[in-house]
Chains A and B, each alone.
Chain A
Amino acid sequence: MKKDDNKSSNITCPIYKSWRELPHIPVSKGQKGSIGETGDWRTFRPEIDKKKCNKCGICYVYCPDGVIVFKEGSVPEIDYTYCKGCGICKVKCPKKVIEMIQERE
């Protein structure tokens, strides 16, 4: 029994008026950026050298935030709106073709 949706961010989250309406536990379905545009937190931006990338997709597998979009046979694309710049993709890339570049204001 959901009440008005919480509109304070770009996500849909039910607001409950009473504990009697609650499920046993809270569960969230996959949706983009449930905590906002986390790309704002980034200090270093990963950049893929498109010419040297072998399209293996390993960076896509390891990205903890699921912000690397990868289609078999093409160079992955990073969604900078949500990439937090952790650098895991850089460490995991077997070809060492991801560089972390400092963001400027």
Chain B
Amino acid sequence: MSKMKKTQTDKEKTIIMSGNYAAAWGAKCARVKVVSAYPITPQTTVVEKMAEFVDTKELDANYIKVESEHSVMSSLVGSSMTGARSFTATSGQGLLYMTEMLHWVSSSRLPIVTTIASRGIAPPWNIWAEYTDILSIRDCGWIIQFASTHQEIFDSVLMSYKIAENEDVMLPYFIVYGGFTQSHTSKPVRIPRQTDVDNFLPAPPEKGWSHLNLDPENPITHGNLLMPQQEYLDFRFLIHDSMMKSKKTIHRTIKEFKKSFGRDYKGLVEKYRCDDADVVMISYGALAEQNKNAVDTLREKGRKVGSFKLRYIRPFPTEELMELFDSGVKVIGVADQGTAFGSPTGGPISTEVMSLLGSGKRKIKVLPIIWGLGGRNVTVDEQINLYKHLLRLKNKNEYPVDDAFQQGTYWLGLKTGA
């Protein structure tokens, strides 16, 4: 017992904290230099905790209070251009209000990290877990990673800066988790020794980023006009190219993290009992984590089902999905906790998965699913039921017959008067 206690205090300490505090602790341990903040539910306690860290001098950083999320990101553009490690957090409408500057960040290739406590989009007002906020800005050149546990939120902040600041990547990074279900619930989080964090994540270069450095002694202009025949098109290609190639850096960083801290985040996806599965459900966020329970229950009854968690959607895990398609799987469900109105399925990620699937001559059947919008509860029993729909599709070639199945997509929990 006493020995265990010693290892606790020596190498790491375990603190019970909310998901939001886990994000703030991550930024503190990453020794961010600039925090810009505007409050919005359910993210607010992230930047509140950061203010406390700065106020008590536990963190040596500049804390900028601004009047809107647009200004949050604008101020971080400035700070990051000086080579300062920069951080903020937002949610829902706040993220949408930031949108213009999000492009400014990625197209300036600035490695800013932002944590998102995702929530429904208004109107009608909704502040509970749903990912339409992040999904609707998925193509703006930021890496997008979901964190489905409190520990993963903390750990991801450390990894994110190492990935984003890599010379070959130089792209901004979102870490996303659900509002309230993750942001405001409390769990134990293991906080490593600061020296171990510093060894894993060294400070950014003194002289600033090599491609862009604001220095009064050497004035530059950035972001000015490029004519159609100049390299505008080529610079656009570079962003996409770097994003696709960042997969290598992501894999390497996950390996290094495991070596330093013992926790293994596998890769761009996490497969759960998928190896011999006939039926696999693809999803993301905390509901993907919960889905493992549904799989275990069905496996006990001999059903060959698996769960496939997307940890990243940008860059998209194309290779991993292709591998899944070629594994002998017969039926796939893709569950979106967010909407893409008017898209082929109504869900952004199911649309993307189906577009990949269509690129080969495969005979895999797909059921797009929408679940958990606006924080609507999704139980393990309901997830088991969804697997039963998928199994029926495999065994009898029958799509769901109830009224929640609309235009080819299953809207779990849709009120149908039944």
Taking Cβ atoms with an 8 Å cutoff, the residues of A that contact B are 16, 19, 22-30, 34-35
How far is B257's CA from A104's CA once the two chains are assembled, in angstroms? 70
* Stretch from B16-24, B147-155, B219-227 at the A interface: B219-227
Question: Which of B170, B220, B234 is within 8 Å of A28, CB to CB?
Answer: B220
Digitize B221-245: 1 where CB-to-A-CB distance is under 8 Å, 0 elsewhere: 1101110000100110110011000
CB neighbours of B221 from chain A (8 A): 27-30
Instruction: Tell me if B41 counts as interface (CB < 8 A to partner A).
Output: no
CB of A24 within 8 A of CB of B211, answer yes
CB <8 Å contact, B219 and A23? no
Contacts of A30 in B (CB 8 A): 219-221
| CB–CB B222/A19 < 8 A | no
Interface residues in B82-131 by Cβ distance below 8 A to A read 107-109
Q: Let me know if B109 and A24 touch, CB within 8 A.
A: yes
Q: Is the interface of A mostly helix, strand, loop or mixed?
A: loop
Taking the closest CB of chain B, its distance from the CB of A89, in whole angstroms, is 21
Number of interchain pairs (Cβ within 8 Å): 48
Q: Does B54 contact A (CB under 8 A)?
A: no
* CB-contact partner of B211 in A16, A19, A23, A34, under 8 A: A23
* A-chain residues with CB within 8 Å of residue B222 when the two chains form the complex: 25-28
Judged by a CB distance under 8 angstroms, whether B197 is at the interface is no
Q: Is the CB–CB distance between B220 and A25 below 8 Å? A: no
CB distance from A1 to the nearest CB of B (A): 13
Starting from the known contacts A24-B109, A28-B220, 12 additional A-B residue pairs (CB-CB under 8 Å) come to A19-B241, A23-B211, A24-B242, A25-B107, A25-B108, A25-B109, A25-B211, A28-B221, A29-B218, A29-B219, A30-B220, A30-B221
* A26 engages B231 (CB within 8 Å): yes
Residues of A within 8 A of B224 (CB): 26, 28, 34
Residues of A within 8 A of B242 (CB): 24
Whether A27 and B212, one on each chain, are in contact in the complex, defined by CB atoms closer than 8 angstroms, is: yes
Residues from chain A with a CB closer than 8 A to the CB of B231 are 16, 19, 22, 26
Q: Is the Cβ of B234 less than 8 Å from the Cβ of A25?
A: no
Contacts of A26 in B (CB 8 A): 222, 224, 226, 231, 235
Q: How far is the CA of A36 from the CA of B102 in the complex (A)?
A: 32
Task: Please measure, in the bound complex, the distance between the C-alpha atom of A19 and the C-alpha atom of B109, giving whole angstroms.
Answer: 16
Interchain CB contact under 8 A, A29 and B220: yes
Q: If A16-B231, A30-B219, A30-B221 touch, does A25 touch B237 (CB 8 Å cutoff)?
A: no
* A contact residues around B226 at 8 Å (CB): 26
- With both chains docked as a complex, state the minimum distance between the C-beta of B230 and any C-beta of chain A, in angstroms: 8
**Which 10 pairs, one residue from A and one from B, show the smallest C-beta to C-beta distance?**
A24-B211, A24-B109, A19-B234, A28-B221, A27-B220, A30-B219, A27-B222, A23-B211, A25-B109, A24-B170
Q: How far is the CA of A47 from the CA of B109 in the complex (A)?
A: 43
On chain A, the residues within 8 Å of B212 by CB distance are 24-25, 27
Q: Are B220 and A22 in contact (CB under 8 A)?
A: no
Interchain nearest-CB distance for A40 vs B (Å): 17
Docked CA distance A22–B231 (Å): 9
Chosen A-B contacts, 9 in total, with CB atoms closer than 8 Å, are A16-B231, A22-B231, A22-B235, A24-B211, A24-B238, A25-B108, A25-B212, A27-B221, A29-B220
B211 touching A27 by the CB < 8 A rule?
yes
Q: A24-B109, A25-B109, A27-B211 are in contact. Are A19 and B220 (CB under 8 A)?
A: no
0/1 string, B186-221, CB within 8 A of A gives 1: 000000000000000000000000011000001111
Q: How far is the CA of A22 from the CA of B225 in the complex (A)?
A: 16
- With the chains together, A16 CA to B229 CA distance in Å? 11
CA distance A32 to B219 in the complex (A): 13
**Docked CA distance A5–B28 (Å):** 46
Least CB distance from A31 to B in Å reads 10
Q: Whole-angstrom distance from the CB of B384 to the nearest CB of chain A?
A: 48
A22 to B170, CA, bound (A): 14
In angstroms, Cα B242 to Cα A19, docked, is 12
In the assembled complex, which residues on chain B have CB atoms less than 8 Å from the CB atom of A24?
Answer: 109, 170, 211-212, 238, 242
A25 CA / B239 CA spacing, docked (Å): 10
Tell me which residues across on chain A come within 8 A of B220, comparing CB atoms: 27-30
Q: Which of A16, A27, A29, A34 has the largest number of chain B CB atoms within 10 A?
A: A27
Cβ–Cβ contact A16 & B234, under 8 A:
yes
Nearest chain B CB to A54 CB, angstrom units: 28
Residues of A within 8 A of B170 (CB): 24
